[in-house]
Amino acid sequence: MIITLKQRTTKKQVNEILKKIVDLGFSYHISKGESRTIIGVIGKNAILTKENFENMPQVESVTPISKPFKLVSREFKKENTIVKFGNNKIGDKKIVVIAGPCSVESKEKILHIAKILKRMEVDGLRGGAYKPRTSPYSFQGLGEEGLKYLYEAKKITGLPIVSEVMTPELVPVVSKYVDMLQIGARNMQNYYLLKEVGKINKPVLLKRGLSATVEELFMAAEYIMSQGNSNIVLCERGIRTFETYTRFTLDLNAIPIIKNMSHLPVIVDPSHGVGVRDYIPALCRASIAAGADGLIIEVHQQPELALSDGSQSLFPEQFMQVMKELKYVAKAVGRYI
């Protein structure tokens, strides 16, 4: 951590800072430049005390040298973390494809699409039972009833289930039915929820917030890991930009960043990321080529009748075509589906 002092800082003010550094158990180096003095603070996790210094009036800025996350970093753990989701190993050589409707709409429909998807060789089933909707007047999901239908679909098809949990008190009920709990983009910094899923033993699919930097995504994962649960799958799902032809801007730059800085696996949700059906297949291919460990894709047997997100759900035949294409791309990057 580097502390840059304002110009014309007095000797006394410098000493106040040095004393604070020593009091906190760190050592330091001073460097007097032509116009400014800078102080390097040395010691493990010095960055965690950043705020102690940056609010001192003689300090101009505090520059981190190390990153503010630890447990999720590749420096902390060199080898890739592999997360078990049913029989799948997310982060291993096989690409994991999870598919399903945006919302669970009825028992019949979810069983129907689950069987179709099973035949198309997906690895897991998605479906929302509790739905975060921008409007209070939109369909809010079937709740626990929806989870039961998902569970039934699992029993019939063998597909493991991922579904969203929106608030801490629902963690127990959602955990009862699903194989992986999803934290949605709008809840990425819902810290009570992060802590709660950090205490259980199930995998967590953590989606990047709409305006979260990759570093903030890591910090959210750090919340979960710091509670003891390291079965975390990160998920890129699009960030908010000025572009209007797409719903969000899927940020595939995040894939190599995550692979470089963290040991956690990462999958991509192109359905929410781009939000326009016809553009999704291209971004599925690109995600795998960029190094993602899997995909989570919205597929609906009749998108035109979907109660939510219909315009971004693939038709089953489109999805089948996507699966075919992805096999080639996976092979091209030394993996398989």
Which one-letter amino acid corresponds to residue 46? A
Residue closer to a copy of itself, measured from CB, 155 or 240: 240
Nearest approach in angstroms of CB 103 to a copy of itself is 11
Residues 77-96 that bind a copy of itself (CB under 8 A): none
222 is a contact residue toward a copy of itself (CB under 8 A): yes
* 181 close to 197: Cβ distance less than 8 angstroms: yes
Q: What are phi and psi of 324, to 5 degrees?
A: -65, -45
Does residue 251 bind a copy of itself (CB under 8 A)? yes
Please identify, using beta-carbon distances, which residue of 82 and 286 lies nearer to a copy of itself: 286
Site for a copy of itself in 294-313 (CB under 8 A): 303-311, 313
- The span from the CA of 226 to the CA of 234, in Å, is 16
Instruction: List the interface residues with a copy of itself, window 94-113 (CB under 8 A).
Output: none
Task: Specify the stretch interacting with a copy of itself by CB under 8 A; choose among 89-97, 147-155, 156-164, 246-254.
Answer: 246-254
Which of residues 27 and 87 has its CB atom nearest to a copy of itself in the complex?
A: 27
Q: Can you read off the two tokens belonging to residue 251?
A: 């940020």
Closest CA to 295 of 136, 12, 85: 85
Q: Is 24 in the site for a copy of itself (CB under 8 A)?
A: no
Residues belonging to the chain: 337
Q: Does 72 bind a copy of itself (CB under 8 A)?
A: no
Q: Which of residues 168-207 bind a copy of itself (CB under 8 A)?
A: 168-169, 186-187, 189-193, 195
- What x/- string results for residues 116 through 135 when contact with a copy of itself is judged by CB under 8 A? ----------------xxxx
Nearest-angstrom CA–CA distance, 69 and 128: 31
Write the secondary structure of 206-221 as one string of H (helix), E (strand) and C (coil).
EECCCCCCHHHHHHHH
Which 3 state secondary structure label does DSSP give 42?
Answer: strand
Q: Which is nearer to a copy of itself, 159 or 295 (CB)?
A: 295
Classify burial at 70, counting beta carbons within 10 Å of its beta carbon; exposed 0-12, middle 13-18, buried 19 or more.
middle
User: Looking at 110-118, 149-157, 171-179, 208-216, which segment touches a copy of itself (CB under 8 A)?
Assistant: 208-216
Rounded CA Rg of the chain:
23
